[in-house]
Amino acid sequence: MTGAIAPRYLPAGESALVVEFGERIDVAVHDRVLALDEAVAAAHLAGVIETVPTYRSLMIHFDPRRTSTPALIDAVRGLDPAGAPRKPPRHWRIPVCYDPPFAEDLGEVASRLGLSQDEIVALHSGALYRVYMYGFAPGFTFLGGLPEALAIPRRAAPRPPVPPGSLLIAGGQALIASVSMPTGWYQIGRSPARVFDWRREPMVLADIGDMIQFERIDAAAFAQMCIDAQTTAGR
Amino acid sequence: MRKQQRDGDLARLRILAAGPGATIQDPGRHGYLRYGVTPAGPMDWTAFQTVALALGNEAGAAAIEVSVGGLSVGAEDAPLMVAFAGGAFDWRRDGQPLPAAARLILRRGEILSARAGKSGGWAYLGVAGGVDTPAVMGSRATHVRSGIGGLEGCMLRAGDVLSVGPTRVYAPAADAAIDAPWLSGRLDPIRVVPGPQDDYFSAEALAGFFEANFTLTAAADRMAYRFEGAAVAHARGHDIVSDGVALGAIQIAGDQAPLVLMADRQPTGGYPKLGNVILADIGRLAQMRPGESCRFSRARLDEARAALAALDKEIATTPARLRSLRREMTPAWLLENNLIDGVVKTRERR
């Protein structure tokens, strides 16, 4: 972390502080976000309620009746994130079906990118992704590591809703949808895995900073996994 | 019909009618923002806390948030001590007008109703002991969009019956108005602490924002309030790499209109935020109705903290601001309404 620029401390009202390490999506920037996140959690700073790591910054929510922005900045400056022991990232293999009817936009993506559907599946399932953050909705997973060949701009107008578990790409990013919603992204596959379930412990599978690979399954395996999941969940 | 019932629970609250937007709220869901879970919680925390204090409830107790869609309720099984406060709603008991903020005993068979009054967008109806629905991720707050909290993650409907938590003290008390001047809707500008992306706007754009008159549009719900008035032009584009979003963030997207992010906001967002409405003023802003206007003024962090401390101090006086409504409480009335029995059977707090 030598040569890394000092973070910026930006107020988000009197009850939240943004510690910003950069303005871009970058593994080194995200590493610093996660290191500070762990250091803040370990330090149990007075008044801190919770933290939200994102691509480039850590938002610290705090009780303004118990601490203040300047006091919190001082406390954060006193931490040593680089020296703290880091939790090693876990690697997840998540099953994905890239076949109809689970990959509604695969044909459209193929024609827009000038690639075959098989090439797109090989690129998407061959990459190693990092969980950068959750946002938008519970368990909605923002991933980094999409191969450049799959960089496709967002749609001009949103497409009809995709179901939970959909694998989405657009704007050089990859996502796992956890809720049904209309989207400006392209659906190129779907996983039977439930990435978020508040009744389950832990409620999200992958923690922020964990690594994910997608493993191709066929429609029959998809159906079987859904049945198995329902049986084990008992609902 | 959805019912919550547990053996031994005396008091329950029946929803007789509910307009759209009535939900169960508590101070909000904390600790899961990092997983994309919306905090929810009351739109106007000042009115919410006033109700809790009038009832002697714990700060975390859940209450009903009433929208301009209105609500009417009745006490099931046993009389209930209830309190309400918020915007200038038209509250009535069996058709008889009540103050906009009061604490009273709701007897069996009586109907307590709220309708939108001359101003205000939200009101809170609390019950001694708190509404006792199942907690999800440590909170009873409803987030309808993700179907979490409250009663099955939904808005309240006619026929819902809500359990009530055990009360610390259930002594019969005179019906009382709550004299809460902090809920009167002051007309001063809404104060804003600039940041975290105020540097995405030129000095002129920021100055214009703090000078202009803004009107709340019809696009106002628990998630966000959209204002129109003056365009707030970006100096550096309107896309940023997503970062965290705090309560009251003023987000300026490509349409250059201020969008104030409220209780049901997403925990992260990808548009520049020029500032945050201070906590002391967020309730006041929440109580605005579409078509009403306001101005925004610049505040420093220390001013925001001082304003919050002053408001906290005012709200803490609630228990001393109950003014009797002079409903007679004869022994016969108490017996008739099972209150004496209720006192005897009071349960110990868990």
- Neighbouring-strand partners of residue B288: none
φ, ψ (nearest 5 deg) of residue B257: -100, 140
> What is the pLDDT at residue A125?
97
C-beta of residue B82 within 8 angstroms of C-beta of residue B316: no
> What is the pLDDT at residue B341?
45
Joined tokens for residue A90: 């876990």
> What is the pLDDT at residue B187?
79
3-class secondary structure, B118: strand
Query: pLDDT confidence of B270, banded at 50, 70, 90?
Result: confident
- Give me the domains of chain A, ranges plus CATH numbers: 8-77 (3.30.1360.40), 91-233 (2.40.100.10)
Burial A59-74 (b: 16+ CB within 10 A, else e): bbbbebeebbbeebbe
> What is the pLDDT at residue B169?
56
E strand or H helix at A10: strand A8-11
> What is the pLDDT at residue B316?
98
| Between B90 and A80, residue with greater pLDDT | B90
Does the structure show a pLDDT above 90 at A59? Answer: yes
Q: Which of residues 149-208 of A touch B (CB under 8 A)?
A: 178-179, 196, 198, 203-204, 208
Q: Is some CB atom of chain A closer than 8 A to the CB atom of B139?
A: no
C-beta of residue A150 within 8 angstroms of C-beta of residue A173: no
Worst-scoring range by mean pLDDT, A17-21, A62-66, B227-231, B268-272? B268-272
Cβ partners under 8 Å of residue B236, min gap 6: B199, B200, B272
C-beta of residue A190 within 8 angstroms of C-beta of residue A96: yes
Give per-residue pLDDT as tens, B75-107: 998 899 999 999 999 999 999 999 999 999 999
Q: Is some CB atom of chain A closer than 8 A to the CB atom of B155?
A: no
> What is the pLDDT at residue B337?
52
Q: Which alpha helices (H) appear in chain B, and where do they start and end?
A: 45-55, 203-211, 279-286, 301-315, 331-336, 339-344
**Residue among B29, B34, B245 with most chain A CBs within 10 A, to mutate:** B34
Interchain CB distance below 8 Å, A135 and B268? yes
CATH 2.40.100.10 fits B190-313, yes or no: yes
C-beta of residue A150 within 8 angstroms of C-beta of residue A120: yes
> What is the pLDDT at residue A86?
79
Give per-residue pLDDT as tens, A11-58: 999 999 999 999 888 999 999 999 999 999 999 999 999 999 999 999
| Between A206 and A5, residue with greater pLDDT | A206
Rama region for A59: left / alpha / beta (φ>0; ψ in -120 to 50; rest):
beta
Which residue does chain A place closest to B278, by CA atoms? A13
Which residue does chain A place closest to B31, by CA atoms? A50
Question: CA–CA separation, A195 vs A138, rounded Å?
Answer: 9
> What is the pLDDT at residue B172?
64
> What is the pLDDT at residue B346?
41
φ, ψ (nearest 5 deg) of residue B47: -70, -40
Mean per-residue pLDDT over chain B, rounded: 90
Of residues A194, A156, A201, the one with CA closest to residue A176? A194
| Between A201 and A73, residue with greater pLDDT | A73
Domain segments of chain B: what residues? Answer: 12-183+319-344, 190-313
